[in-house]
A and B are shown apart, each in its own frame.
Chain A
């Protein structure tokens, strides 16, 4: 867009010229118009590879001492393009050096900032800058890269990488397997993204209510939370639910308990009579939307649910504006990094969260959405890499108990100590970042040695009430369509929740349009993939 702006600036210069050379200027204007346009799509020529916008660091200062001592061959230089986990933190740190030493490599790491990560990665690859190891965010991009033959099948060399093979033994590799039987990427998962319904316990106590177990009880709680002044400040400033927008799309997950009670989850697959059905378009979704519409009219949903971003949403949870949403379970435990509990307590010493269960409703209730087994981030090796062995060596080491432990906690005795069962960190979170612990998550598995019993309890609970997505691990080719359809769904859902009149017609129109826009084709593709997978 910058290019666009420049194009127009140039026209202003042209204006100042006298009446001669008309034609030349006509061409110039046409050209700058067209040039402005071309910058929209022509990423190859007008956008520089990510090096300018990302912190690139090569930790060349350390020639591997291990190699020197044992007389091994010189370390292999590997190029990595990874997501930037800790913004602004250089990779020239102890953890990177540790990996280099252990695997006899030299890592040249380009960290790409999380926003617009995939776009920059693609431009980097297209411009001929081919790293050995890359990271991918979405399934869609993984499919695209596999289709272009860019990625190395990891399973082909599982015999040489036993730790990597073990990494996904419990069903993870099944979920990563493509229709050709190959595994192209290692999923990086974070347990913290799983959701549970949470309630403000202090509010429930004050209003003399119990944690709701049915949808009707939930309505009563939501009403009391919103309209009976649970925080006792005499103002109508509390709500049961809120949500947030990211990139023009609306996050639907904070109201999963309502949809769950009506037997569906929006933007998720349901299994009905052996077939996959899209949870956003089933009749149960309409009932849930009517319920939410009623809540909205009853002032139980924050009117800003659609204009807030995630930071403002977080702020509202911490300030005690929202009382009964579905949100990340970790926010209820104080021992977790970035937890919400301590700031909440600071704002309000009496504040307390309690977890709820699946609400009984008219439908066959379903649980809460969890992070896919395919992870939020994936690591892959490029086929074109001249150092495939070294790349696999690094991944295998990081997948090993030793490597993964280091990536989780750092060096024993220096960064943490173990007393009996209890693991205690002896450095601050900031030191942890500076030392690069958890910075290079190529084959990362979160460990729970240091977490509190409460955290474990919540973790187990989240998994107990979590929804087992029947389509988890299915990949289909045209799933870029899904992003588009999900955005459309969010938009229409918001309209229905905020609607003044009846929403039956709106919903019928939405379902028809969803199908027409490629929903039917997508459903078919997923069902085919599902049958294919279950046949085996």
Chain B
């Protein structure tokens, strides 16, 4: 991918070489690009033809070529589906909560870690914080279930201390959403922090020195130097995160949800999995997936546009 840059930094001495010179000169770089390109073509572009299933009454045994074309009928079916709008609403709601509370969390933690004096302590905290990232949702779900259990969970003991009746929070729609967001933050907090910590090292130390001379305290330094210093990284990650808005956490919700909270926790991805793949409604699943992606594309372009408006760099 560096090729592009090299090509831009064209040197004047190239006239003497052959017509093919730009490519020939960077041939090694192009060669290195090849596997990446192949990956995209084979795994990302070629499968794109599968989208046509969304416009067919797809029969798995007749295949794409012989299945009947039905135009937008499948999409009409999707939008007419009784729960579709509820599911879409859930997807957006859970995702917005996750962004609202989950997005600033690693920034705050990174700022806090950045202020730590003891390097070893800092490293330990950092490592411990990002460990949950490597635990699968199935395991986390088991942990949550064990903690939340009103009959033998840790939480039931806490309830008893306060003389309260233990409740099954996982069956409570409001509490369930909070658990979803909280466990998501817990899992990926440390991982997100790494990027911000890396960005923080880029902030010019002389600025802090100057601020100290001018009498700025820690708060002022953070507000006027650190945050503006990593602003472009924050905006960039926010744009990416908004692109993932339709992705409210498939695995997590699939393993954690239950009948009592299904109405507030069924999201597009779990719905596609259950209704589309498990019950074999492939056309329906593809149509929902395509809708999902179209929205995601609009969101990411919208976020990009807004960030440009505010004078940030954005993605491109």
User: A residues bordering B, Cβ < 8 Å?
Assistant: 1, 3-4, 6-8, 10-22, 25-26, 28-46, 116, 118-119, 122-123, 125-126, 140-141, 144, 148, 150, 237, 245, 247-250, 302-304, 306-307, 312, 321, 480, 483-484, 487, 490-491, 493-495, 498, 513, 516-517
A40 to B282: give the CA distance in the assembly, Å.
8
Of chain B, the residue at the smallest CB distance from A321 is B151
Q: B251–A35 contact, CB under 8 A?
A: no
Q: A35–B47 contact, CB under 8 A?
A: yes
Q: Which 10 A-B pairs have the closest CB atoms?
A: A42-B50, A41-B286, A40-B289, A37-B293, A250-B259, A35-B44, A303-B168, A37-B289, A126-B60, A41-B285
A21 cross-chain contacts in B, Cβ below 8 A:
4
Indicate which residue in B257, B283, B286 contacts A38 across the interface (CB closer than 8 Å): B286
Within 8 A of A (CB), among B57-95: 59-64, 82
Of chain A, the residue at the smallest CB distance from B51 is A38
Q: A31–B290 contact, CB under 8 A?
A: no
A140 to B281: give the CA distance in the assembly, Å.
12
A118 to B280: give the CA distance in the assembly, Å.
9
B64 cross-chain contacts in A, Cβ below 8 A:
44
Q: A42–B257 contact, CB under 8 A?
A: no
Indicate which residue in B4, B60, B259 contacts A43 across the interface (CB closer than 8 Å): B60
Shortest B58–chain A CB gap in Å is: 8
A35 to B166: give the CA distance in the assembly, Å.
46
Q: B315–A15 contact, CB under 8 A?
A: yes
Q: A18–B4 contact, CB under 8 A?
A: yes
Interface-side segment among B103-111, B203-211, B240-248: B240-248
Within 8 A of A (CB), among B16-65: 40, 43-51, 53-54, 59-64
Of chain A, the residue at the smallest CB distance from B167 is A303
Q: A119–B151 contact, CB under 8 A?
A: no
B178, CB-defined interface residue at 8 Å: no
Q: A37–B60 contact, CB under 8 A?
A: no
Q: B149–A304 contact, CB under 8 A?
A: yes
A119 cross-chain contacts in B, Cβ below 8 A:
277-278, 280
Q: A116–B278 contact, CB under 8 A?
A: yes
Q: B54–A148 contact, CB under 8 A?
A: no
A192 to B296: give the CA distance in the assembly, Å.
48
Main secondary structure of the interface of B (DSSP, over half): helix
Q: B297–A41 contact, CB under 8 A?
A: no
Interface-side segment among B125-133, B214-222, B262-270: B262-270
Assuming A15-B240, A40-B272, A45-B50, is B286 touching A306 (CB within 8 A)?
Answer: no
| B215-253 Cβ-contact flags toward A at 8 Å (1 or 0) | 000000000000000000000100010011001001100
Of chain A, the residue at the smallest CB distance from B268 is A40
B285 cross-chain contacts in A, Cβ below 8 A:
40-41
Of chain B, the residue at the smallest CB distance from A480 is B279
Indicate which residue in B4, B47, B274, B290 contacts A45 across the interface (CB closer than 8 Å): B47
Q: A513–B48 contact, CB under 8 A?
A: no
Shortest A27–chain B CB gap in Å is: 10
Query: Number of A-B pairs whose CB atoms are under 8 Å?
Result: 204
A14 to B239: give the CA distance in the assembly, Å.
13
Sampled A-B contacts (8; CB under 8 Å): A15-B315, A34-B290, A126-B61, A150-B61, A245-B258, A247-B274, A248-B266, A491-B262
A30 to B315: give the CA distance in the assembly, Å.
13
B100, CB-defined interface residue at 8 Å: no
Q: A491–B315 contact, CB under 8 A?
A: no
A44 cross-chain contacts in B, Cβ below 8 A:
50, 60, 63-64
Assuming A46-B47, A321-B151, A494-B259, is B171 touching A34 (CB within 8 A)?
Answer: no
Known: A18-B8, A29-B297. 13 other contacts (CB 8 A): A8-B243, A11-B243, A19-B316, A31-B48, A33-B300, A41-B282, A41-B287, A42-B50, A46-B47, A46-B50, A148-B62, A302-B151, A484-B275
B170, CB-defined interface residue at 8 Å: yes
Of chain B, the residue at the smallest CB distance from A128 is B63
User: B residues bordering A, Cβ < 8 Å?
Assistant: 1, 4-5, 8, 40, 43-51, 53-54, 59-64, 82, 145, 148-151, 166-168, 170-171, 236, 240, 243-244, 247, 250-251, 254, 257-260, 262-263, 266, 269-270, 272-283, 285-290, 292-293, 296-297, 300, 315-316
B50 cross-chain contacts in A, Cβ below 8 A:
38-39, 41-42, 44-46
Q: A248–B82 contact, CB under 8 A?
A: no
Of chain A, the residue at the smallest CB distance from B281 is A480
A26 cross-chain contacts in B, Cβ below 8 A:
316
Assuming A18-B5, A303-B171, A307-B145, is B276 touching A41 (CB within 8 A)?
Answer: yes
Of chain A, the residue at the smallest CB distance from B176 is A307
Shortest A277–chain B CB gap in Å is: 22
Shortest A300–chain B CB gap in Å is: 14
A148 to B258: give the CA distance in the assembly, Å.
35
A393 to B104: give the CA distance in the assembly, Å.
67
Q: B297–A35 contact, CB under 8 A?
A: no
Assuming A33-B297, A302-B151, A303-B167, is B4 touching A17 (CB within 8 A)?
Answer: yes
A245 cross-chain contacts in B, Cβ below 8 A:
258-259
A14 cross-chain contacts in B, Cβ below 8 A:
315
Assuming A304-B168, A306-B171, A513-B82, is B280 touching A122 (CB within 8 A)?
Answer: yes
Q: A249–B272 contact, CB under 8 A?
A: no
Of chain B, the residue at the smallest CB distance from A122 is B60
A487 to B271: give the CA distance in the assembly, Å.
12
Indicate which residue in A7, A42, A484 contacts B279 across the interface (CB closer than 8 Å): A484
B266 cross-chain contacts in A, Cβ below 8 A:
248
Of chain B, the residue at the smallest CB distance from A18 is B5
Q: A40–B276 contact, CB under 8 A?
A: yes
Of chain B, the residue at the smallest CB distance from A27 is B45
Q: B61–A125 contact, CB under 8 A?
A: yes
Q: B1–A36 contact, CB under 8 A?
A: no
A144 cross-chain contacts in B, Cβ below 8 A:
280
Assuming A250-B258, A250-B259, is B45 touching A35 (CB within 8 A)?
Answer: yes
Shortest A385–chain B CB gap in Å is: 15
Q: Find the residue from A10, A29, A36, A41 having the highest chain B CB count within 10 A.
A: A41
B59 cross-chain contacts in A, Cβ below 8 A:
148
Q: A20–B280 contact, CB under 8 A?
A: no
A35 to B47: give the CA distance in the assembly, Å.
7
Of chain B, the residue at the smallest CB distance from A36 is B293
A236 to B167: give the CA distance in the assembly, Å.
14
A493 cross-chain contacts in B, Cβ below 8 A:
259
Q: A237–B151 contact, CB under 8 A?
A: yes
A34 cross-chain contacts in B, Cβ below 8 A:
48, 51, 290, 293
Of chain B, the residue at the smallest CB distance from A150 is B61
Q: B47–A248 contact, CB under 8 A?
A: no
Shortest B177–chain A CB gap in Å is: 15
Q: B44–A498 contact, CB under 8 A?
A: no
A41 to B4: give the CA distance in the assembly, Å.
35
Q: Find the residue from A31, A39, A42, A237 having the highest chain B CB count within 10 A.
A: A42
Shortest A31–chain B CB gap in Å is: 6
Of chain B, the residue at the smallest CB distance from A252 is B259
Q: B247–A4 contact, CB under 8 A?
A: yes
Indicate which residue in A41, A248, A306 contacts B270 across the interface (CB closer than 8 Å): A248
Of chain B, the residue at the smallest CB distance from A35 is B44
A302 cross-chain contacts in B, Cβ below 8 A:
151
Q: A7–B44 contact, CB under 8 A?
A: yes
Q: A306–B259 contact, CB under 8 A?
A: yes
Indicate which residue in B82, B250, B262, B296 contacts A516 across the interface (CB closer than 8 Å): B82
